[in-house]
Amino acid sequence: MQLARAGLRSRPRERVPLALVLSACAVLLVVTMTLGIGIGSVPLSPAEVWHVIVSQVTGRRDDTVTATIVWQIRVPRVLLAALVGAALATAGSVVQVLVRNALADPFLLGVSSGASVGATAVLLLGAFASLGVWAISAGSILGALAAMAAVFAVSRSGHGLAPTQLILCGVVLSALFESVTSFLIFRGNPQATQSVLFWLLGSFGLASWDQLPIPALALAAAMIYLLAQAGTLNALAMGAEPATALGVDVRRLRRNLFLVTSLMAGIAVAVSGIIGFVGLVVPHIVRLMVGSDHRRVLPAGVLFGASFMVLGDLLARTIVAPQEMPIGVITAFIGAPTLIVLIRRRPYLYGATQ
């Protein structure tokens, strides 16, 4: 936040070099991850943390309790938080361009509410029971895909996916899916209802190494596509007609961006539940640091989003230790005031002055 505030006081004449921003964000990520792995019911020093990581990576056997805590419990948890943070921040930056609205977030287009229906059905009705621990993920990703398909089908018009229609259809269908979730909870038993509630607010408590490959691959594939398109994203930020005049196939670009962001958000929800505000607030903070050029926003957003989420998860499991707070509560408590400060300090961004 220090960086963001400095950026507000003196509008930079020239942007900070990207390499510098990325290095700073990378250092921040390493520090937050080290803290995230070190702090817990058994506190470990950064030296101990890195000793275990180095010996595991280099293949030396280490069966101490410390090694087990670090390698089997905390490292996968921190990595999952980082992946989900990066995915939500990236999806958020892109959705904001897709609908040309700085207040959009990756869950705007119905993904999260569709995923809740799927996850709730698993938890309350025992759907996909044969999949065991993967049942909730399977249920939520199917729900997210269904919601995505519904929003896509309903908001398509002669000109492809128009921003206003996307927003309205997303909001309306989200409301519909949420009422389905409410109905399922209403019909379910109280015990199962509590686990639904916990899932809906998001948690990395069940993180394991098995859970990492799919989100990691999805994030990598999405980032490759988005970085290749970063220049055309800038053109799309000008609006559909100016982008067309710049030689961009707007209809195809919007369709692809919709699919990529929905899939990223859907996978994030499937592995960690619905964690709000990260996809909304992180893109704003990143734009304050590096400007709106997406060739800068996207890489910085990955690193900063990851750090933000690792820190959020650290707070979630230490503030009321030994209990764990749902991380959605933490991100909302950090995110909402941050956003309000941003909105009040930069009114022109939202068309209030001009």
Partner 1 sequence: MSLSAEHLSVDIAGQRIVTGISLAAADGQFTGLLGPNGSGKSTILKTVYRVHQPAAGRVLLDGADLLALPARDAARRVAVVAQETASEFDFTVREMVMIGRTPHKRAFGGDTEADRSAVGQAIERAGCGHLVPRSFNTLSGGEKQLVLIARALAQGADHLILDEPTNHLDIRHQVEILEVVAALGVTVLAALHDLSLAALFCQSAYLLAGGRVILGGPPATVLTPPAIRRAYGADVLVINHPDTGTPHLIPRRIRPGDDSPRPGISDASIPASPKET
Measured from the CB atom, the residue of 60 and 159 that comes closer to partner 1 is 159
| Part in contact with partner 1 (CB under 8 A); list of ranges 74-82, 106-114, 201-209, 227-235 | 227-235
Measured from the CB atom, the residue of 235 and 325 that comes closer to partner 1 is 235
| Part in contact with partner 1 (CB under 8 A); list of ranges 46-54, 83-91, 146-154, 240-248 | 240-248
Applying CB under 8 A, which of residues 19, 129, 153, 228 lies at the interface with partner 1?
Answer: 228
| Part in contact with partner 1 (CB under 8 A); list of ranges 12-20, 30-38, 166-174, 274-282 | 12-20
| 22 binds partner 1, rule: CB under 8 A | no
Q: Cis link prior to 322 (omega < 30° from 0)?
A: yes
Q: Which residues in the 70-129 window bind partner 1 by CB under 8 A?
A: 96-97, 100-102
Write the CB contacts of 226 (distance below 8 Å, at least 6 apart in sequence): 90, 94, 233, 260, 294, 298
Applying CB under 8 A, which of residues 244, 256, 318, 336 lies at the interface with partner 1?
Answer: 244
| Part in contact with partner 1 (CB under 8 A); list of ranges 29-37, 181-189, 205-213, 238-246 | 238-246
Measured from the CB atom, the residue of 51 and 100 that comes closer to partner 1 is 100
Q: What is the dihedral of CA 216, 218, 221, 224, to 10 degrees?
A: -70
Applying CB under 8 A, which of residues 48, 62, 293, 324 lies at the interface with partner 1?
Answer: 293
| Part in contact with partner 1 (CB under 8 A); list of ranges 37-45, 171-179, 224-232, 300-308 | 224-232
| 21 binds partner 1, rule: CB under 8 A | no
Q: What is the dihedral of CA 3, 236, 115, 207, to 10 degrees?
A: -40
| Part in contact with partner 1 (CB under 8 A); list of ranges 52-60, 135-143, 182-190, 287-295 | 287-295
Angle at CA of residue 84, ends 83 and 86, nearest 5°:
65
Closest approach, Cβ 170 to partner 1, in A, equals: 18
Closest approach, Cβ 270 to partner 1, in A, equals: 29
Nearest to 173 by CA among 97, 113, 92, 116: 113
Applying CB under 8 A, which of residues 239, 321, 337, 345 lies at the interface with partner 1?
Answer: 239
Measured from the CB atom, the residue of 205 and 231 that comes closer to partner 1 is 231
| 174 binds partner 1, rule: CB under 8 A | no
| 10 binds partner 1, rule: CB under 8 A | no
| 251 binds partner 1, rule: CB under 8 A | no
Number of amino acids touching partner 1 (CB under 8 A): 40
Applying CB under 8 A, which of residues 73, 162, 259, 349 lies at the interface with partner 1?
Answer: 349
Q: Which residues in the 128-167 window bind partner 1 by CB under 8 A?
A: 158
Dist. CA 98–CA 104, nearest whole Å: 9
Closest approach, Cβ 348 to partner 1, in A, equals: 6
- In the numeric block, which tokens belong to residue 100? 């040309």
Dist. CA 84–CA 140, nearest whole Å: 15
Contact footprint for partner 1 (CB under 8 A): 11, 13-15, 96-97, 100-102, 158, 227-232, 234-235, 237-242, 244-249, 287, 291-293, 295, 348-351, 354
